């Protein structure tokens, strides 16, 4: 489902989502998005740890993780498939095997991989949804934790087991846990998209709403000036 179709679907089910959403004024959205634009990204990212996640639209995931203390950069892209150098148009067909993914660069002395897993699972609208998140549906929107070592694999599986046993959800967690192989950065126009398009209907009514919902629940994790849930 493309962004326009996803937004139309969201309008149709907005009443059912209103209770779990987070209202964000256009003024707040623009101001916070502007603060993201002022972030200084290190030119050398080689000294930072990396974590790779897929959970629906990568615009949402990138901005969400960039709001977390200790995260220095998120990169939108594609992973989990077999096609080399996939384009957005290729991935959107659902035939390449890739999922929209974000590669996260973080300072492990400031934020742990366990915390990033918490952000990942708790920020999803429905972690039990198969092949999609919210109105974004298809294998290209499936949920995946890409682990780089067996320690990360064990932590991801432990997180899933705890959620399954918690009784919070009626269905089992849908996220796959698979080894990291290759990550293909998305086209330039997808990078940091929300930061410069906060007034677009899909961004304001889907992405920012869901980001703000997590931020409202965990303000202690959010960088100053990066919390869409704070009233301006």
DSSP string, 29-81: HHHHHHHHHTPPPPS--TTSEEEEEEES-HHHHHHHHHTBTTEEEEEEEEESS
Instruction: Give the three-state DSSP class for 132.
Output: strand
206 lies in some domain = yes
Question: Which pLDDT score is estimated for 139?
Answer: 97
227 lies in some domain = no
Q: What is the pLDDT along the chain (232 residues), one digit of tens a residue?
A: 455 444 444 433 343 333 345 689 999 999 999 999 999 999 999 999 999 999 999 999 999 999 999 999 999 999 999 999 999 999 999 999 999 999 999 999 999 999 999 999 999 999 999 999 988 999 999 999 999 999 999 999 999 999 999 999 999 999 999 999 999 999 999 999 999 999 999 999 899 999 999 999 999 999 999 999 987 5
17 lies in some domain = no
d(CA 171, CA 128): 6
53 lies in some domain = no
pTM listed for this prediction: 0.90
3-state helix, strand, coil in the chain (%, to 5): 40, 20, 40
| Token couple for 219 | 């303000």
Strand 71-79 and strand 99-106: the pairing is antiparallel
Question: Which pLDDT score is estimated for 59?
Answer: 96
Alpha helices in 167-207 (DSSP H): 193-196, 201-202
> Which of 6, 29, 51, 57 is an active site residue?
57
13 lies in some domain = no
Total tally of structural domains belonging to the chain: 1
71 lies in some domain = yes
Question: Is 57 noted as a catalytic residue in this protein?
Answer: yes
Question: Which pLDDT score is estimated for 230?
Answer: 87
Full residue range of the structural domain in which residue 180 is found: 3-8+59-98+106-221
CATH number of the domain to which 113 belongs = 3.30.1060.10
193 lies in some domain = yes
The contacts of residue 23 (CB under 8 Å, 6+ apart) are 209
45 lies in some domain = no
Supply the Cα-derived Rg of the chain in whole angstroms: 16
């Amino acid at each position: 489902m493309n962004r326009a179709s996803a937004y139309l679907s969201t309008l149709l089910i907005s009443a059912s989502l209103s209770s779990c959403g987070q209202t964000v004024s256009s003024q707040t959205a623009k101001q916070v998005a502007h603060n993201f634009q002022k972030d200084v990204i290190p030119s050398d990212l080689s000294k930072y740890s990396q974590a790779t996640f897929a959970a629906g639209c990568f615009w949402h995931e990138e901005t969400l993780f960039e709001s977390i203390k200790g995260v220095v950069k998120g990169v939108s892209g594609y992973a989990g498939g077999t096609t080399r150098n996939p384009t957005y148009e290729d991935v959107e067909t659902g035939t390449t095997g890739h999922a929209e993914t974000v590669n996260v660069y973080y300072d492990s002395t400031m934020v742990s991989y366990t915390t990033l897993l918490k952000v990942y699972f708790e920020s999803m609208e429905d972690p039990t949804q198969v092949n999609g998140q919210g109105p974004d549906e298809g294998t290209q929107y499936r949920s995946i934790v890409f682990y780089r070592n067996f320690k990360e694999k064990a932590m991801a599986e432990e997180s899933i087991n705890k959620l399954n046993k918690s009784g919070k959800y009626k269905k089992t967690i849908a996220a796959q846990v698979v080894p990291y192989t290759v990550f293909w950065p998305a086209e330039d126009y997808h990078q940091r998209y929300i930061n410069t398009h906060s007034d677009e209907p899909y961004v304001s009514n889907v992405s920012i709403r869901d980001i703000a919902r997590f931020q409202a629940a965990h303000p202690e994790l959010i960088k100053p000036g990066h919390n869409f849930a704070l009233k301006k």
